[in-house]
Amino acid sequence: MMKSWTIKALSKDGLRSIKSNKLLAFAAILTSVISFTLLGIFYSIIDITNDNIIKLQEEVRVVAFLEDDVEESEVLNIKEGIEDISGVESVIYVPSDEGLEAYKRDIVSEEDDDMMRIVEEAIDKGNNPIPDTLEIETENININEEVMNKVLELENVYKVSDGNLITDFLKTMSKYVRIFGIVLILILVISSTILISNVIKVSVFVRKREIGIMKYIGATDNYIRLPFIIEGALIGALGAGISALMVSIVHSLVNTNMSETLVSFIPGFYITPLGNIMIILLPLLFFMGITIGVVGSLISLKKYLIV
């Protein structure tokens, strides 16, 4: 087992190696910065996409349409019956008059003149095309179908909907975003390891004579490895730190210059705050940077430590 002073001395050797091989160290750091910045940007995109999916999922409501002329006491009974269903968080009663006003506001915002004309004609004839409804919030959209089936069994409920197309789309999108994210991160991790290990391999090759002499005079493998491991870890950590800074700059630029444009294309679009992203991304980048740097060094040294 190495003594603390030996480890300290070998650590200084690792630092000296970076200083004396500035060009190679710069190439390794640049490689890690590019790889980790791409990883950080893609992670941020996936995180923001996932947050928006969750936000949209929270806005999906199950709507129970009631029969015409349902008494207020019966509405309360239906509401209580729905509240007793497992997974239901809240139930809001929306009378037909309120529902009609909300529907008219939606038509105006969508600038659908034909539909507005049809609705106004129905109102002129004393008809309200919007029935009394109960808006149901569930714990998550995965139980919507089960809740809908139970609500449909209740008396005076003639139809139940949760916007199936939206629900199915969100479920599918959430699934594929997770798969895409895992695959992409794995690809970037593998490519980063290969690139960084190749750069460190050049550094090791340049110093192969030094390694050979150390082996000849009886230096242990661990004694030879440690300076290179320190070097790889420092290169990985520096690359991770600079990458985190680059991701922060990109996030700030997008948030400042593109948020309004994104909201105009996707109403309600939400850019996850940088702090929320970095709380996971920063430790992840440093862990990956140091690990890849160390693994890259060990891979590069393997050939030269064979007696």
How does residue 7 score in pLDDT terms, banded at 50, 70 and 90? low
For residue 235, what are its two tokens? 């290169």
Q: Do the beta carbons of residue 236 and residue 294 sit within 8 Å?
A: yes
Residue 111, pLDDT score: 59
Other C-beta atoms within 10 Å of 64: how many? Answer: 27
Mean pLDDT score, 92-105: 76
Other C-beta atoms within 10 Å of 91: how many? Answer: 20
Q: Where are the domains of the chain?
A: 4-56+168-305, 61-162
pLDDT above 80 (res 287): yes
pLDDT above 80 (res 146): yes
Q: 61-162: which CATH number, 3.40.50.12160, 3.50.50.100, 3.30.70.3040, 3.30.450.20?
A: 3.30.70.3040
Q: Of 287, 185, 286, 239, nearest to 18 (Cα)?
A: 239
CA 14 to chain centre: 36
Positive or negative: CA dihedral 75, 80, 84, 89: positive
Mean pLDDT score, 218-242: 81
d(CA 101, CA 97): 6
Higher pLDDT, 150 or 222: 150
Does this model's pTM top 0.85? My answer is no
Q: How many residues does the chain have?
A: 307
Residue 241, pLDDT score: 94
> What is the DSSP-derived secondary structure letter of residue 213?
H
pLDDT above 80 (res 282): yes
Q: Do the beta carbons of residue 180 and residue 46 sit within 8 Å?
A: yes
d(CA 295, CA 269): 40
pLDDT above 50 (res 190): yes
Q: Do the beta carbons of residue 278 and residue 248 sit within 8 Å?
A: yes
d(CA 240, CA 35): 9
pLDDT, the chain, mean = 78
Residue 30, pLDDT score: 85
Residue 285, pLDDT score: 92
Least confident of 14-18, 88-92, 255-259: 14-18
For residue 234, what are its two tokens? 């420092």
Residue 307, pLDDT score: 44
Q: What single letter denotes the amino acid at residue 41?
A: I
DSSP reduced 3-state for 27? helix
How does residue 170 score in pLDDT terms, banded at 50, 70 and 90? low
pLDDT above 90 (res 213): no
What letters, b where the CB count within 10 A reaches 16 and e where it falls short, cover 274-303? eeebbeebbebbbebbbebbbbbbbbbbee
* Residues pairing with 133 in the sheet: 65, 94
CA 50 to chain centre: 5
Mean pLDDT score, 240-256: 92
pLDDT above 90 (res 244): yes
CA 239 to chain centre: 22
Element (H, E) at 181: helix 164-206
pLDDT above 90 (res 142): no
Least confident of 3-7, 94-98, 210-214: 3-7
Residue with tokens 């320190």: 230
Most confident of 60-64, 109-113, 166-170, 251-255: 251-255
Residue 247, pLDDT score: 94
